Amino acid sequence: MNRPVTNRPVTRRDFAAAGLAALAAAPLGRAAESKPAPADDTARLAKDGGPKAVTGKPGPWVRWDERERAQLAEAAAQASLFYWQGRGANKQTALFVERFKAYCPREHVVTCSSGTAALHVAVAAAGIGPGDEVITTPITDIGTITGILFQQGVPVFADLGASSYNLDPAAVERCITPRTKAIIAVHLAGAPCDMDAIMALAARHRLIVIEDCAQAWGARYRGKPVGSIGHVACYSLMNSKHIGAGDGGVVASSDPKIGPALLKFADKGNDRLGAGYTWDKTAVLASNYRMSELQAAFAAVQLERLEGIAAKRAALGRSLIEAIAGAPGILPPALGAEDRGTFWFFYFRLQTERLRGTRAQFVEALRAEGAPASAGYIPVPVYRLPYFQNHGFFAGRWPIKELGLTAMDYTKVRCPEAEAILATGIQVPLNESMDEAYVRGIGAAIRKVARHFAA
């Protein structure tokens, strides 16, 4: 469900053009030096032959350089590329973990092969078993959900806030039953969930809160990094995320029961913190979700770039919200005044009843203005995927339903706000290769098109 197409890939020519000297600072993406866009909303639409609202373009989006390459070379000089530190020779995973803890203070931090793996480990370590319900959002990557199903738990979908696109705590509360064990709060597109309300609910109902921070590196809820508030934090290092290592993930927890269990569930049940390489004696069934030293080396350098990347995206996103506020028929994304969103992408909604024309026509007009817009995010809410509709997760069957351990019927699930968010939303890429003037140009394009489409 990922949409990595929010940015064009970095090409060899980008590297050459950027020049090594310019690549030393973090973040790497050099902002385009675009001229401020004309603010004339009344000009003819570009699709009808008028001037384009977006005049500049993003700079080269260069995401790594000599520093990552040097760290990779250091790793490759080691005798072993295995993550475990037992023999003391391997340093990259330890370096990554140290830096991650400085970013998101959690006692137990385990590197994994992907964000999906991190989420599976989190759900397994939280003790989710057959028939246990886990409440989450229907607008997310499928990686949020697969771990629940593999542990034979039941994903329960709660509706979302109209402009936050994140879990609505009141809707979560309505989904709580005696079988509910956990909530997975996804900080969608880099916007923090309402964590105070979610944690209060969880405390009242004794639920575990897992934060899915895959799209929210660098985001802060009331000053705290996302992932440092719930019981477990999960991050992805997949290529298109704010920082990456091609693939990879992190799962972290300070919970005294869950934290020490993470490692086992990421490493075939081995108790490396205790008795050691013990998969023949382990009591837990677990997969191999390990990350190698090479990925950890790369990711450790990427983590050093994070603050620059996050601060830039946060500022650009706020500017774009400001630029489109008050435009007719436009619903900008909501972001708490005290929070920092880091905009994995920028998503806004059309109030279609206040506009003439369709979303497709709006997107087409925006693209003609030079704004790289596209319609929606994932095609349908997760519960509408075919294997949810036919309850056929495991070779066409769902054993826990056949055994009567759940009465869940996904054909009956409806989250009207989530459906509307997908039906009326428009996505615009946002990243650190862009500058203020370029993003203001996108804002001007949205205002201009909205004015022309206003009913």
Burial of residue 349 (CB within 10 Å: 0-12, 13-18, 19+) is: buried
Least spacing, CB of residue 118 vs ligand PLP, in Å: 8
Least spacing, CB of residue 236 vs ligand PLP, in Å: 3
Cis peptide before 27 (omega within 30 of 0): yes
Task: Name the segment binding ligand PLP (CB under 6 A); options: 50-58, 92-100, 112-120, 290-298.
Answer: 112-120
Per-residue binding string, ligand PLP, 37-66, x by CB under 6 A, is ------------------------------
Per-residue binding string, ligand PLP, 127-146, x by CB under 6 A, is -------------xx-xx--
State yes or no: residue 211 binds ligand PLP (CB under 6 A).
no
State yes or no: residue 115 binds ligand PLP (CB under 6 A).
yes
State yes or no: residue 152 binds ligand PLP (CB under 6 A).
no
Among 90, 114, 180, 270, interactor with ligand PLP by CB under 6 A? 114
Among 59, 153, 249, 425, interactor with ligand PLP by CB under 6 A? 249
| Total residues at interface with ligand PLP (CB under 6 A) | 15
Task: Name the segment binding ligand PLP (CB under 6 A); options: 75-83, 212-220, 410-418, 446-454.
Answer: 212-220
Residues 175-194 interacting with ligand PLP (rule: CB under 6 A):
186
Among 132, 212, 255, 339, interactor with ligand PLP by CB under 6 A? 212
**Residue listed under structure tokens 């990243």:** 431
Alpha carbon separation from 296 to 47, 94, 103, 266 (Å, rounded):
47, 8, 15, 15
SS3 at position 229: coil
Task: Name the segment binding ligand PLP (CB under 6 A); options: 41-49, 209-217, 300-308, 402-410.
Answer: 209-217
CB nearer ligand PLP, residue 249 or residue 259 = 249
Burial of residue 278 (CB within 10 Å: 0-12, 13-18, 19+) is: middle
Burial of residue 455 (CB within 10 Å: 0-12, 13-18, 19+) is: exposed
State yes or no: residue 7 binds ligand PLP (CB under 6 A).
no
Question: In the sheet where 232-236 sits, what is the strand order?
Answer: 108-112, 249-253, 232-236, 208-212, 180-186, 133-136, 154-157
Least spacing, CB of residue 8 vs ligand PLP, in Å: 18
> Between vectors from CA 15 to CA 370 and to CA 26, what angle results, nearest 5°?
85
The DSSP 8-state label assigned to residue 241 in this structure reads S
φ, ψ of residue 274 in degrees (nearest 5):
-120, -105
State the Cα–Cα distance between residues 119 and 143, nearest whole angstrom: 7
What is the pairing mode between strands 133-136 and 330-331?
unpaired
Among 54, 104, 214, 439, interactor with ligand PLP by CB under 6 A? 214
State yes or no: residue 238 binds ligand PLP (CB under 6 A).
yes
CB nearer ligand PLP, residue 291 or residue 368 = 291
* Structure tokens, 204: 């009242």
Residues 400-419 interacting with ligand PLP (rule: CB under 6 A):
none
Q: In terms of Cα–Cα distance, which of 65, 71, 54, 70 is closest to 27?
A: 65
CB nearer ligand PLP, residue 286 or residue 444 = 286
State the Cα–Cα distance between residues 314 and 340, nearest whole angstrom: 6
CB nearer ligand PLP, residue 114 or residue 270 = 114
Q: In terms of Cα–Cα distance, which of 440, 442, 443, 436 is closest to 32?
A: 436
Least spacing, CB of residue 307 vs ligand PLP, in Å: 21
CB nearer ligand PLP, residue 6 or residue 140 = 140
State the Cα–Cα distance between residues 175 and 158, nearest whole angstrom: 7
Which amino acid does the sequence have at 148?
I
**How much of the chain is in helix, strand and coil states, percent to nearest 5?**
40, 15, 50
Half-sphere exposure of 173 (CA within 13 A, CB side): 10
State yes or no: residue 2 binds ligand PLP (CB under 6 A).
yes
Least spacing, CB of residue 208 vs ligand PLP, in Å: 17
State yes or no: residue 253 binds ligand PLP (CB under 6 A).
no
Residues within the interface to ligand PLP (CB under 6 A): 2, 114-116, 140-141, 143-144, 186, 212, 214-215, 236, 238, 249
